[in-house]
Amino acid sequence: MLRRPRRNRQSDAIRKLTTETHLSSDHLIYPLFVVDGAGTKEEVSSLPGNFRMSLDYVLREIEECVSLGLDRFILFPAIPDEYKDKTGTYGYDPNNFYLRMATKIKEEFPEVCLISDVALDPYNIDGHDGIVRDGKILNDETILQLCKMSIAQAAAGFDILGPSDMMDGRVMAIRQDLDTAGYKNVGIMAYTAKYASAFYGPFRDALDSAPVEGENIPKDKKTYQMNPANKREALIEAELDTQEGADFLMVKPALNYLDVIHLLKENFELPIAAYHVSGECAMLIAACQKGWLNYEQAMPETLLSIHRAGADAILTYFAKDYAKLQKFGKL
Ligand code: PBG
């Protein structure tokens, strides 16, 4: 045998030399669920190790993450029902705690990168990312609301906005409004290929944001989120988001869509982000809790696979644990 691939695997020293993909916590973004008030830290039962936190706990959490070298966060608000309405007006209300929280975080930690969520579902009584009328999700009317939310978030101090709603044309509308309002340096991480996935369950539990059951309310998000069977359609979405001025193209979920991540990486120059979503993380946590998998091995392998597929940035509920493993030399 002339070729013995095992020669390059025979020692740790040689394996290091031939390692093709390196993942550092510099590529990770940590999602945080936030609530109004003070003194709240409640675990999300379907996503153990993740909490709904009020500002006081959020600041402590960010401080700890920064000490681990993790300084990028995406915030998702849980909104009390009394603030919800048909068009999500609380999303840009000057008293919105989410906006005030972002300002406070940036005051305390100006160096961290804060990413927002732009969508109506936390604020909408119907639990949809857009305005519902006569059983339909209105695209253009929703965009007007998303633009107002975006300006309010930029004013609050978010560095990057994350439109997660999948309305057509929203990236361009948001970009134009941001520029007109003078927020030229506020970026857009577009949820480009976001699929109508069954893996968002724990997230919707955390925020109580699932589509509401009722007459004339679509029971799922299939008219705006993408069909899991489709890959080429992701190229159309990516082309549009690129033309419309996005700074990042996101694929979501990540693990079941590694082929889509790879496809966008091969075809576009913008940085590719992947959202390793709540249900994907919950499966692994559950198996580890049962003793069926080893967390310190299975978790880094999972994140590595997303990076290897082509994701430059990974949004994952494991970001902090990964940063810990890295800091303590356990990777
Ligand atoms: C909604 C939104 C969702 C997630 C992020 N933003 C849920 C949905 O589309 O229903 C899911 C993230 C996760 O599951 O971790 N705008």
Q: Which residues contact 59 (CB under 8 A, 6 or more apart)?
A: 104, 105, 108
What integer pLDDT is reported at residue 57 of this predicted model?
98
**Structure confidence at residue 235 as a pLDDT band (50, 70, 90):** very high
In the reported structure, the alpha carbon of residue 207 is separated from the centroid of ligand 1 by a whole-number distance in angstroms of 10
Task: For ligand 1, atom 6, name the residue with the nearest CA.
Answer: 164
Q: Which of 86, 68, 58, 48 is nearest to 330 (CA)?
A: 68
What integer pLDDT is reported at residue 325 of this predicted model?
98
Q: Which of 215, 68, 190, 198 is nearest to 134 (CA)?
A: 215
**Structure confidence at residue 34 as a pLDDT band (50, 70, 90):** very high
Out of 84, 194, 221, 320, pick the active-site residue.
194
Determine if ligand 1 sits within 6 Å of the CB of residue 197. Answer: no
What integer pLDDT is reported at residue 212 of this predicted model?
94
Q: List the single range of 29-33, 213-217, 226-230, 294-298 with lowest mean pLDDT.
A: 213-217
Whether 194 is catalytic is: yes
pLDDT, tens digit, for every residue of 109-155?
999 999 999 999 999 999 999 999 999 999 999 999 999 999 999 99
Of ligand 1's listed atoms, the one at least distance from the Cα of 279 is 14
> How far, in Å, CA of 41 to CA of 281, rounded?
20
Q: What percent of the chain has pLDDT over 90?
A: 99
Task: For ligand 1, atom 14, name the residue with the nearest CA.
Answer: 200
Count Cα atoms within 13 angstroms, Cβ side, for 40. 14
Q: What is the 3-state secondary structure (H, E, C) of 226-237?
A: ECCCCCHHHHHH
Please tell me the CATH code under which domain 23-327 is placed.
3.20.20.70
**Structure confidence at residue 287 as a pLDDT band (50, 70, 90):** very high
What integer pLDDT is reported at residue 306 of this predicted model?
98
Q: Look over the chain and give the mean of its residue pLDDT values, rounded to a whole number.
A: 97
Mutating to test ligand 1, I would choose from 200, 222, 277 the residue with most ligand atoms within 8 A of its C-beta, which is 200
Contact 16, 9 (CB under 8 A): no
Ordered by start, the domain boundaries in the chain are: 23-327
In the reported structure, the alpha carbon of residue 224 is separated from the centroid of ligand 1 by a whole-number distance in angstroms of 13
Determine if ligand 1 sits within 6 Å of the CB of residue 121. Answer: yes
Mutating to test ligand 1, I would choose from 191, 207, 277 the residue with most ligand atoms within 8 A of its C-beta, which is 277
pLDDT, tens digit, for every residue of 14-24?
999 999 999 99
What integer pLDDT is reported at residue 166 of this predicted model?
97
pLDDT, tens digit, for every residue of 150-171?
999 999 999 999 999 999 999 9
**Structure confidence at residue 203 as a pLDDT band (50, 70, 90):** very high
Out of 84, 221, 252, 265, pick the active-site residue.
252
